[in-house]
Amino acid sequence: MSVALRTLLYKELLRFWKVSFQTVAAPVLTALLYLLVFAHVLDRQVEVYGGVSYTAFLVPGLVMMSLLQNAFSNSSSSLIQSKVTGNIVFVLLPPISYREFFTAYVVAAVIRGLVVGAGVWLVTLWFVDLPYAQPAWILFFALTGGALLATLGIIAGIWADKFDQLAAFQNFVVMPLTFLSGVFYSIHSLPDFWQAVSHLNPFFYMIDGFRYGFFGQSDVSPWISALVAGGSFAVLAGITLSMLSRGYKLRN
Amino acid sequence: MPSCPALIIDGVCKRFGALRALDEVSFEVEQGEFFGLLGPNGAGKTTLISCMAGLARQDSGHIRVMEHDTVSDYRAARRKLGVVPQELVFDPFFTVRETLRIQSGYFGLGRNDDWMDEILARLDLTAKADVNMRALSGGMKRRVLVAQALVHRPPVIVLDEPTAGVDVELRKGLWVFIRELNRQGHTIVLTTHYLEEAESLCSRIAMLKQGRVVALERTADLLARRVQQTLRLRLGNGASLPAEFLAIARATPDGRIELLLDSADTVADCVARLHAHGVRFDDIELDKPDLEDVFMATMQDVPA
Ligand SMILES: Nc1ncnc2c1ncn2[C@@H]1O[C@H](COP(=O)(O)OP(=O)(O)OP(=O)(O)O)[C@@H](O)[C@H]1O
Ligand SMILES: [Mg+2]
Q: Chain A: nearest CA to B232, how far in angstroms?
A: 51
- The answer to whether residue A188 sits within a structural domain is yes
For residue A19, the chain B residues in CB contact (below 8 A) are: 93
- The answer to whether residue A55 sits within a structural domain is yes
The predicted pLDDT at position B225 comes to: 65
Question: How far apart (Å, rounded) are the C-alpha atoms in residues B75 and B79?
Answer: 6
Question: How far apart (Å, rounded) are the C-alpha atoms in residues A75 and A109?
Answer: 6
For residue A100, the chain B residues in CB contact (below 8 A) are: none
The predicted pLDDT at position B227 comes to: 63
Among the partner residues B78, B85, B89, nearest to A95 by beta-carbon distance: B78
For residue A87, the chain B residues in CB contact (below 8 A) are: 89-91
A60 in Cβ contact with A214 (< 8 Å): yes
Q: Chain A: nearest CA to B87, how far in angstroms?
A: 8
How far, CA to CA in Å, does B152 sit from each of A89, B6, B71, B80, B130?
16, 17, 20, 9, 20
Mutate to test the pocket of ligand 1, among B15, B46, B49, B194 (most ligand atoms within 8 A of CB): B46
Task: Decide if B106 and A10 are in contact by the 8 Å CB cutoff.
Answer: no
B70 to chain A: closest CA residue: A95
Least confident segment among A140-144, A192-196, B72-76? A192-196
Which atom number of ligand 1 is nearest to the Cα of residue B42? 19
Those residues whose C-beta lies under 8 Å from the C-beta of residue B230, and which sit 6 or more positions away, are: B258, B259, B260, B261, B286, B287
Nearest to A183 by CA among A7, A33, A28, A54: A54
The predicted pLDDT at position B222 comes to: 83
Say if residue A223 is exposed, middle or buried (CB neighbours under 10 Å; 0-12, 13-18, 19+): exposed
Task: Decide if A14 and B83 are in contact by the 8 Å CB cutoff.
Answer: no
B24 in Cβ contact with B71 (< 8 Å): no
Q: Which domain holds residue A26?
A: 3-246
Say if residue A210 is exposed, middle or buried (CB neighbours under 10 Å; 0-12, 13-18, 19+): buried
Query: What's the gap in Å between A24 CA and the centre of ligand 2?
Result: 40
A86 to chain B: closest CA residue: B89
Task: Decide if B54 and A6 are in contact by the 8 Å CB cutoff.
Answer: no
B58 in Cβ contact with A251 (< 8 Å): no
Q: Chain B: nearest CA to A94, how far in angstroms?
A: 6
Q: Between residues B142 and A44, which one has the greater pLDDT? A: B142
How high is the ipTM of this complex?
0.91
Q: Between residues B152 and A179, which one has the greater pLDDT? A: B152
A50 in Cβ contact with A131 (< 8 Å): no
A120 in Cβ contact with A42 (< 8 Å): no
Task: Decide if B87 and A97 are in contact by the 8 Å CB cutoff.
Answer: no
> Ligand 1: which residue has its CA nearest to atom 6?
B16
User: Over 80: is that where the pLDDT of A42 sits?
Assistant: no
Task: Decide if B56 and A251 are in contact by the 8 Å CB cutoff.
Answer: yes
The predicted pLDDT at position B221 comes to: 85
Query: What's the gap in Å between A87 CA and the centre of ligand 1?
Result: 18
Instruction: Show the domains of chain B with their CATH numbers.
Output: 228-288 (3.30.70)
A-to-B residue pairs, Cβ atoms closer than 8 angstroms: 79
Task: Decide if B89 and A89 are in contact by the 8 Å CB cutoff.
Answer: yes
Question: How far apart (Å, rounded) are the C-alpha atoms in residues B303 and B286?
Answer: 30
> Ligand 1: which residue has its CA nearest to atom 17?
B46
Task: Decide if A6 and B105 are in contact by the 8 Å CB cutoff.
Answer: yes
Q: Nearest ligand, CA of residue B193?
A: 1
Ligand 1 binding pocket, CB closer than 6 Å: A 252; B 16, 19, 21, 39, 41-47, 86
For residue A3, the chain B residues in CB contact (below 8 A) are: 105, 108-110
- The answer to whether residue A154 sits within a structural domain is yes
The predicted pLDDT at position B87 comes to: 93
pLDDT band at A49 (very low <50, low <70, confident <90, very high): confident
DSSP designation for A21? I
Average pLDDT over chain A, rounded to whole? 93
> Ligand 1: which residue has its CA nearest to atom 5?
B16
- Each residue's pLDDT expressed in tens, for chain B with a length of 304 residues: 568 999 999 999 999 999 999 999 999 999 999 999 999 999 999 999 999 999 999 999 999 999 999 999 999 999 999 999 999 999 999 999 999 999 999 999 988 999 999 999 999 999 999 999 999 999 899 999 999 999 999 999 999 999 887 888 888 888 999 999 999 999 999 999 988 899 999 999 999 999 999 999 999 888 776 567 788 888 887 778 888 888 888 888 888 888 888 777 788 888 888 888 888 888 888 877 778 877 877 888 766 5
- The answer to whether residue A251 sits within a structural domain is no
- In chain A, how many domains are there? 1
- The answer to whether residue A252 sits within a structural domain is no
Which atom number of ligand 1 is nearest to the Cα of residue B44? 18
Those residues whose C-beta lies under 8 Å from the C-beta of residue A196, and which sit 6 or more positions away, are: none
Radius of gyration of chain A (CA): 18
